[in-house]
Amino acid sequence: GPRSLKQKGGLMQVQNNRLKVARSLDAVGAAALAAANASYSPYTKTFAGVALKTNGGVICTGRYAENAAYNPSLSPLQAALSQLVLHGQTFASVTKAVLVEASGPASQIDATKAVLRSVCSAPLTVYRATVT
């Protein structure tokens, strides 16, 4: 677990990664930033969050949940898609997707683009975040 790898805290504890982006964000971008700030990435520090907006205005978020072995880490898009289903929304209803990510060795950009493309036609906006 985290202690054996000299990490304090754990996946289920509240996280505040103190991330910011260099521009103002709309509600979807702000939701993705909040998810990135709550993500768990103690090993690579590649904090990431996704927000999906539907044609009905529903915003669902997901955050990166890192495992020491990297696989099976939970991607932020995977988490957001599960929230979408839990809210009774379809993948086809997604009209906007935003990924906020800190730079690091475990980037979520390519995986997010590939999976998003396979489930809907919404464009992906990516914002790079820095730790304050």
Residue range of the domain that includes 86: 27-131
**Rama region for 35: left / alpha / beta (φ>0; ψ in -120 to 50; rest):** alpha
9, part of any domain: no
Please report the DSSP string for 67-112 in residue order.
-TTSTTPBPHHHHHHHHHHHTT--GGGEEEEEEEEE-SSS--HHHH
19, part of any domain: no
108, part of any domain: yes
16, part of any domain: no
77, part of any domain: yes
Residue 11 to residue 131: CA distance in whole angstroms: 19
- What tokens does 107 get? 């980037």
Reported as a single tens digit per residue, the pLDDT across 47-88 is 999 999 999 999 999 999 988 666 668 999 999 999 999 999
14, part of any domain: no
Higher pLDDT, 36 or 71: 36
**Rama region for 66: left / alpha / beta (φ>0; ψ in -120 to 50; rest):** beta
Give me the number of domains the chain comprises: 1
pTM for the full predicted model: 0.91
Which of 13-17, 72-76, 98-102, 125-129 is predicted with the least confidence, judged by mean pLDDT? 13-17
Instruction: Give 62's strand partners.
Output: 50
